[in-house]
Each structure stands twice: as C-alpha cells, then as structure tokens.
Chains A and B, each alone.
Chain A
C-alpha cells in the first residue's frame, strides 16, 4: 500500500549530536500510527521535520507522492498536514472559537486578496463550534485561552488542527495534561476521527491509550528507529522493551 506520508532517511544534527539518524517510515492512508519512544528519542524533532520547522541535514518527505522537503510550513499545511503541538500555542487575544475559526478559514486566508474582500465568519464559527464540541470543550467556546486549563488548551490545539481539514493529522502528546477520565475520552475521539477517514500520526507517552487505539507503531530511541509494525509485535521486540524498561528504570532510579 502506497504511503500517504512518506519519510526517508531523515537525519538531524544539533551541534554534534544526532537528534535523528537516517530515520524513515511510511504512514499509510487511513492509518492511526503511534510514534513512540522514551524521552529525548527524537519524536518531537521528527514532528518538526515533517512540518518544516526543522530542516534536516538529509532526508526526503512526500505527501501523496509529491515531495515536500523544500516547502515552507504554510505550503505543507495547505497540502494536507494538520499539526497539534505539544506546547500549546493558542492566539492569546482570540477566544477559543475564534482560534479554531481562523484555521477553518484556511481556504480564505490562503489568498490575501480573498482575505481582504471577505468579512463573514459565520460559517467558520459554526464549524469551529462543531469541532470544539467534538473534542469536548464546547463550554469554553467564548473563553480567552488564558482563562482555560491545560487540558482544555490541548484540545483547543487539536480542534484547530482539525479545522484545517488535514489529510494527515499530526498530534504531539494530545493526552498530556488530561486527567484519567478525559484521556481515554479524547483517545476515543482520535480513534473515531481515524475511522471517519483522517490519517493520524500520534506522539504520545500514555502507552495504555497508544496500545488501545493505534494499529501501527514506530518506535524511536536515541534518534534511531528501533521498531516499525503492528503494536503487539513491536512491543514484544526485546530491543523495544530494553529501550523502554531501561529508561523507566533510569527514571525510577532518578526519582
């Protein structure tokens, strides 16, 4: 099956350190792919390479067979990437619904001239409210971001990414900051979106939810890919177990 998003030979060096070393994987159309690994494995760097915020020293990226390696971020977004960042970045002066409506108006904002002659935001606001409802924060639609807790902001970030109608939705730790009731609920929402046809790449530390909803895993450790395949098979791999258990032992030792 041809990959919707294909990543080949990505290498990123920060100073003398390889943040990513020759990492490649494909995201098949319709996949719900979990990109996991211990802290510092290079997951977020990979996400930033995909969106064009980090330029790799080597590597090739393509969406639907079209190479995007040299395109700036906004062009990649318009080609179908939607990004929900780990560190939430809502626009502070806009309410939740305005934040999402701005993304929902991506067809209008794509052309400054069209943006200049267009006033009505009604349709985009409606869509924004629907998406806020979908991620479960409809009650905060008219609140300013600085009044909202992190769990809400994570979901706002996701609603904003969804408003771009992405072919591939990139989610960087969407469940972090959510409580034990909210996390499975949002994970279910992600799984639902995927069932409705959105291809999802999920970076997540919450392994219980990852194992529950993902049908494909890519595991990174120290900037290298150490696993790629079905979740049960990948997690049974001794190298993956060692990377995870090792880091958890270290964490326990540190704590």
Chain B
C-alpha cells in the first residue's frame, strides 16, 4: 500500500534528520557530509544481511560501524571550526563516495542488490521504523533536557567560554558525533532493508545537503520543527512528480528563503504565529 511506504520513508528520514540535528543543532557542529554515515550504515547492514546475517543484528552493527567512523571524523571538529569544519565534513562525504565507487566488495558503481527482506511484512516494517523514529524523538527530547544537552547548548553558543566553566569540549563534541552518526547508521540500515538495493548515489553530497535542508527548514536544534520538516520534505517527491523533478531547485529556494527570512525555521515561525494568536486572544478577552 502506498501510505505504508510513505510512512516508512518518513520514519527513517526523521531518524536521519534528527541524527544530524543532534550534531549540528544541539552541539553546533556543522556537517556537510552527514550522508556518508547514512551510507556507512546502509552498506554495512547490506553487507551483513546479504552475507547471511540476521536483520536484527544488522541494525546494531550498522550503528556501531557508522558511530565508529563518526568518532574518527569527530576529531576533525576538535581542530577546525565553523566554515572550515563545513569544508572538512564535505570532504569526508566525497571521500566516502569516492572510496565506495572503487571497491569491488561494496559493489562499486553497481551497488549492492538483492538485500534480503527482513521478513516481517510491510506493515510491521513500517511500524518498526515508526517505533525507532519515536524512540529517536524521545531520545532527542530527553537529551535536550539532560545536563548533556545543557553542556551541548553552551558549546554550540561559545565553546571557549564553555571551557572556562570546566566543560571538556572535546569529549562532548565526540559524544555528539558518535550519537549522531550512530543514529544516521541506523537510518541507513532501515533504508537499505526497505529499498533492498544500495548504490553510492543515495549517499552523495546532494543527500548531505538535503538532510541539512531538513534541519535548517525545521529550525536548527528544534526537535519538532525538524521532525515536521523531515516528514514533509521526505515524502513530497513521492507525492508530487513536480517536486521530484525540481527537488534541487526547491531545496535551494527553501534554504535561501529560510536563511534569509526566518533563520529559526518552521519552529520559530510556529512560535511567532502562536504568540500572535494567543496575544490576539488576550486582547480580545481584555476588551
């Protein structure tokens, strides 16, 4: 059924977008190569299950492998900041696609086909993805309230001052990278076992920008804003052929419009709207 596939796509897109939101939104570390970790998760899960491994084991493996590479790349964020980090992570993305294209065991240009079905049926798979998405939303909400979220917030605002408050910025950044890339790996594994075919184009620079667009349009750091943006932007190309044809153009316009007119994204627009509505109600009551 069509709705089932929409909900499935929506679910792993929400996980993917929230995973970047954790790194870029919570901890303030920009990444232009996040699709690489989505890809690492997809490829490691695909390799594992096409080799006869269990789907259920493939999920934690995909998270661990993606998180391991995220840890390595996280070191870059300790040495470079802001626009330099953007360029560095962009390089990581190209490194991933460049590497995969040349590797026979990863299927090279052809990709990996014939990824086995998890064997639980379409609706349970959709529910599984939705449950993971719900868990990641819950984890994000929890993280934001925890002391780790408080420290991330400080690092995102001003990491030098965070240091003067005794915060070990390096360990927190690495933690954000491991969590964020690990969850991207989970999203990748779920994606791979939904489409049953992975190729390098699914994880290229455009994909990195697409997921960043979801985070920016939703409102950098805002959990619900990013959930809404990811849910809508991921299924629009499936619903409207126009959107699929002009995806890049539309993403470009969206990114430009949001950054120019509403840097807080959907989240701040909703808050402004809410304040206006509740303000009007208060005024109405006053009269």
A interface, CB within 8 angstroms of B = 51, 53, 72-74, 77-78, 83, 85, 89, 91-94, 98, 102-103, 105-106, 108-110, 112, 114-119, 121, 160, 164
A-chain residues with CB within 8 Å of residue B157 when the two chains form the complex = 91-94
Closest to A106 in B: B166
Q: Are A102 and B151 in contact (CB under 8 A)?
A: yes
> Which residues from B are CB-within-8-Å of A105?
147, 150
CB neighbours of B169 from chain A (8 A): 74
Shortest distance in angstroms between B177's beta carbon and chain A's nearest beta carbon? Answer: 12
Say yes or no: A118-B160 contact (C-beta < 8 A), given A112-B171, A164-B166.
Answer: no
Please, which residues of chain B bring their CB within 8 A of the CB of A109? 147, 150-151, 165-167
- Indicate if B19 sits at the interface (CB-CB under 8 A): no
Q: How far is the CA of A89 from the CA of B149 in the complex (A)?
A: 19
Kindly provide the distance from the CB of A43 to the nearest chain B CB, expressed in whole angstroms. 17
Closest-by-CB residue of A relative to B142 is A119
Partner of A83, one of B148, B164, B171: B164
Give Cα distance in the complex from A106 to B167, angstroms.
Answer: 7
Q: Which residues of B contact A78 (CB under 8 A)?
A: 166
B142, B148, B150, B166 pick with most chain A CB within 10 angstroms: B166
- List the B side residues contacting A89 at CB < 8 Å: 158, 160-161
A91 close to B147 (CB less than 8 A): no
Could you jot down 26 A-B contacts, CB within 8 Å? A51-B164, A73-B163, A83-B164, A85-B161, A85-B164, A89-B158, A89-B161, A91-B154, A91-B158, A91-B161, A92-B157, A94-B153, A102-B154, A102-B165, A109-B147, A109-B151, A110-B166, A112-B168, A112-B172, A112-B175, A114-B147, A115-B148, A116-B143, A116-B148, A119-B147, A121-B147
Residues in B with CB closer than 8 Å to A72 are 163
The 7 closest A-B pairs by CB, nearest first: A115-B147, A77-B166, A115-B148, A73-B163, A89-B161, A116-B148, A106-B166
Q: Which residue of B lies closest to A72 (CB)?
A: B163
Considering only residues 120-167 of chain B, those with a C-beta below 8 Å from chain A are 142-143, 145-148, 150-151, 153-154, 157-158, 160-161, 163-167
**B150 contact from A92, A121, A160, A164, Cβ within 8 A:** A121
- Contacts A74-B163, A110-B168 given; 7 further ones with Cβ under 8 A? A73-B163, A85-B164, A91-B153, A91-B158, A94-B154, A109-B166, A112-B172
The CA of A108 and the CA of B151, in the complex, are separated in Å by 10
Residues from chain B with a CB closer than 8 A to the CB of A93 are: 153, 157
CB distance from A171 to the nearest CB of B (A): 13
The answer on a CB contact under 8 Å between B168 and A74 is yes
CA distance A103 to B167 in the complex (A): 9
Say yes or no: B165 contacts A77, CB within 8 Å.
yes
> Which residues of chain A have C-beta atoms less than 8 A from B146's C-beta?
115-119
Closest-CB distance, A68 to chain B (whole angstroms)? 13
Q: Determine the chain A residues whose CB is within 8 A of the CB of B167 once the complex forms.
A: 74, 109
- Give min CB distance, B267 to chain A, whole Å: 13
Assess whether A77 is in contact with B150, with CB atoms less than 8 Å apart: no
Assembly CA distance A85 to B171 (angstroms): 24
Q: Is the CB of B164 within 8 A of A77?
A: yes
| A74 CA to B78 CA, complexed, in Å | 14
Q: Which residues of A contact B160 (CB under 8 A)?
A: 53, 89
Chain B residue with Cβ nearest A77: B166
Closest to B172 in A: A112
How near does chain A come to B51, taking the closest CB pair, in angstroms? 34
Closest B residue to A79 using CB positions: B166
In Å, the complex CA distance between A116 and B172 comes to 10
Q: Which chain A positions have C-beta within 8 A of B172?
A: 112
Listed residue (B145, B154, B165) with the most chain A CB atoms within 10 angstroms of its CB: B165
Complex: A155 Cα to B160 Cα, angstroms? 19
